[in-house]
Amino acid sequence: MSVEESLAEIREVIAQARAAGITQFRGYVSTAFGCPYEGKVDPKQPLRVMEALLKAGVTELSIGDTIGVGTPAECVAMVDAVAAKVPREKLAAHFHDTYGQSLANILAVMERGIAVFDTAVAGLGGCPYAKGASGNVGTEDVIYLLNGLGIAHGVDLDAIARAGREICVELGRAPASKVAQALSAKQAA
């Protein structure tokens, strides 16, 4: 469906959810930096979509790089542009690690006041419609980063890594998370 059709559907879903007593809604702009169909994204386009999501009733916006092509400078510029219209505490981010920039992007936007991030145990997931796109940033990698920065988060890195290992065994694949790989090697030694 087109962006306009999608926005119409979102407005309808929010209206129905409100009628059912739901008051919090996170809206995603999934290809804010690059699109598998259109290539590089003009920053005005995701900003237009984010404004439409806010008008539709979204209470939190997630800026997404689901094909993993964004760089820290692009992410900071996008966050700053969106934050001119939306309080930073209502922003979240979603990064994939195709070009190995997800942790750098997270750190860059953390320094701009973003504190909510989507992650995936063992770096699982992905973007099946974008050729060559890799999985989500690994939860283990983000937790290790937060630990190194001395940021309290309440997540047990060893428990997350253990869960990731078990899932990967069931899936018959290795974890994409570098921290998960390092912890697995350390455990095997």
Residues labelled catalytic: 127
Orientation angle between helical segments 44-56 and 72-83, nearest 10 degrees: 40
Do the strands 34-35 and 39-40 form a parallel or antiparallel pair, or are they unpaired? antiparallel
CA distance 128 to 112: 30
CB atoms within 10 A of CB 80: 13
Closest to 102 measured CA to CA, from 124, 87, 117? 117
First CA to last CA distance, the chain: 51
Question: Which residues are paired to 92 by β-bridges?
Answer: 62
Q: What is the DSSP letter of 59?
A: S
CA distance 56 to 167: 37
CA distance 165 to 175: 7
